[in-house]
A and B are shown apart, each in its own frame.
Chain A
Amino acid sequence: MLHLTGRTAFATRDKPFHGEDGPISSTMTALLEAKRADQPFQFMAASYLIRIGAEPVETLGELAKSLRSCPQASIFYHTFQSLEAHHYTSFSSDFAQWALSACSEAALAEQLAIVDLREIVSLEDLRGILADIVSDYLKEHPQAADRRAFEAFYFCEAREVTVSSGSPAWTLTELAEGIRHLGHQSLHYHFINSRLRLQLRTNDFSFWIEHSLDHPWLAARLNRIDFYNNTLDELRQGILDVLEPPESR
């Protein structure tokens, strides 16, 4: 159950809210306060079960080959999903972590880690990018292709179970309250996983704010939050800071 306290994030604001392009007027603020969405935002509770593949890889050469043939769900799991699993580490991609910790190939790890998932709208595109990075690296460093890794890499994929959770949000205030009470996996589901699920360069919150509340600048501002370099709790706070600017509290 969500705990909607009726807190009015925008009602008490006496300083102007800064939109994407700078401060916005008190008139605009009042409009934000009053706006009720055409369609409500339905929060979902997301949970995952990890299925382990049967064929591990033990060298970078095998990784390069398997990246081109593994299930799309595995590409998704080891990139988008691992953002949630290792969100406090420097390299959040499982492929990058393995290249570094099991293969001691720091330069390759860095290249794999810096692929910006916010620009990706197709898993096949992502597969091609990752496979090319490994293949190109091995062309330059052929001695690394067959060197046995310290530990094998197991391709995994997640089975997702979602259930609707709590009351729907009709206003930004209700959306913020709901986000405040989301579990980690559900926050990840709405803000990160949603990008590929919807084949969009956005997230569930921004999509709803843009299409149901008609606030594209606020949607864009929310979408610019860097989910790579934050823990999920920091990400949550970042979202709330956009929806409920500190100066308005």
Chain B
Amino acid sequence: MSTTEVAKPSAVLPVLEDYAAIVGEPEINELRELARRLAGRRVKMVNSTAVGGGVAEILNRLVPLMEEVNVPTRWEVITGGEKFFHITKAFHNALHGAPYDGAADWFETFLATNEENRRRMRFDEDFIVIHDPQPVALIAERNSGPHRWVWRCHIDLSYPNAQVWDFLKPWVDRYDASLFSSPQFTRGLRIPQYLFFPNIDPLADKNRALDPEFVRNVLEQFHLDPTRPILTQISRFDRLKDPVGVIRAYRLVKKYEDCQLVLAGGSATDDPEGAAVLAEVEQAAADDPDIHILNLPPWSHLQINALQRGSTIVIQKSLREGFGLTVSEALWKKKPVVASAVGGIPSQVIHKLTGMLVHSVEGTAYQIRFLLANPSFARILGENGHQHVKEHFLLTQNLKRYLVLFLVLLQGD
């Protein structure tokens, strides 16, 4: 049987009532009641891309649900030339702590592009949520009207490059509130800083329940043996995800356990370094038939879902990380997770309670061996992890946070 005969990509977006089976009818009722209190107030979301990336993925699902609960929400994407996005990529890396070597006119170009977008767009909604640094200077539009401006930062700002942050901070300070994915990502701003976890959609193809037969078929499709332990890391081929480190950890485990390793990532074509990293990974794997390097196209959500569900342990051995939602994806599937204590991962993996946090290649191998030797403990981690995700990292929780945020802003925090 072909895999597509058992599970097909979802053609229709779920509606709010569909989530009741997961989070319970009371939670859905509360969402509707909170939305009713907003009495039709309108929202604008602004970011820099309509497709690709975690922000667009979240907004694609969040905006229709806000509309459904009668909170009219308009999602707009800023435009900019190649140079602007080259600059904002450099900003992004610098805010994550990388060195910054921008030209003298970059700040000016950044502001000019924001100004062009400000003139093009209208801002007459009650709440304007600006996502990430690219459109941050749209706050120049703010006047003395009743509009509330919110800056949603999806980036880990714990160790930003000072030059770039010092340039952006005066713009951020003009907002009414800021939203961060982890307390550790904040910068001690004077404006209110709120905790806003990103989320996964439990009904999306990447996370929804799958027929076990489909999972088996996918494992077979990729020549994986379901009778032996399968260790999996799902990540694009990026040095910050340390795929070569994962192979080294696997080799340490392999001395004691007859296991297999899956390194499955998205297409490398949109990342200039991706092809080089993929080559490094293939070289590190050498001719080991139990290492499966899968360079999957971006529409492989069902296959990735099946690979996670078919895995014995899911690894996320990142060196740096934003939030690392692949961890929540695995926890949602009740998988024991071994993950680095970086970025937003410790919010998801509470050591020895919802997974195992590690700090090195050797530590990764050690914890994998421990979990393989203690499957009942691994099961408990998976159950706890599922519950943790259910309470904090699902789409419905994110919707609730936005509704509560808007109500708090109306009350005046």
Contacts and interface: CB of A to CB of B under 8 A. Distances in A.
Contacts of B26: 45, 181-183, 186
Interface residues of B, number: 38
A199 interface: no
B407 A161 contact: yes
Contact of B384 (A88, A161, A183): A88
A51 B194 contact: yes
A5 to B, nearest CB: 13
Interface-centre pick from B387, B404, B413 (highest chain A CB count, 10 A) = B404
Interface string B16-38: 00000000111101100110010
B351 interface: yes
A85 B393 CA distance: 12
Contacts of A161: 34, 404, 407-408
B369 interface: no
A54 B189 contact: yes
Interface in A36-78: 45, 47-52, 54-56
A231 B387 contact: yes
Given A86-B350, A89-B350, A181-B25, A47 B391 contact: no
Contacts of B403: 47
B408 A159 contact: yes
B401 interface: yes
A159 B29 contact: no
B141 to A, nearest CB: 25
B55 interface: no
B192 interface: yes
Nearest to B177: A51
Interface in B168-194: 180, 183-184, 186, 188-190, 192-194
B80 interface: no
B195 interface: yes
B353 interface: yes
Interface-centre pick from A52, A56, A90, A101 (highest chain B CB count, 10 A) = A52
B346 interface: yes
B148 interface: no
Given A50-B194, A52-B186, A52-B193, A183 B34 contact: no
Interface stretch (A149-157, A210-218, A221-229, A241-249): A149-157
Closest A-B pairs by Cβ, 8 of them: A154-B183, A50-B195, A183-B26, A45-B30, A54-B188, A52-B193, A47-B404, A49-B404
Given A45-B34, A54-B189, A184-B391, 19 more contacts: A47-B30, A49-B194, A49-B404, A49-B408, A50-B195, A52-B186, A52-B194, A54-B188, A55-B188, A88-B384, A90-B353, A150-B341, A156-B195, A159-B404, A161-B34, A161-B404, A183-B27, A185-B30, A231-B387
Interface of A: 1, 3, 45, 47-52, 54-56, 85-86, 88-90, 97, 101, 150-152, 154, 156, 159, 161, 163, 165-166, 181-186, 231
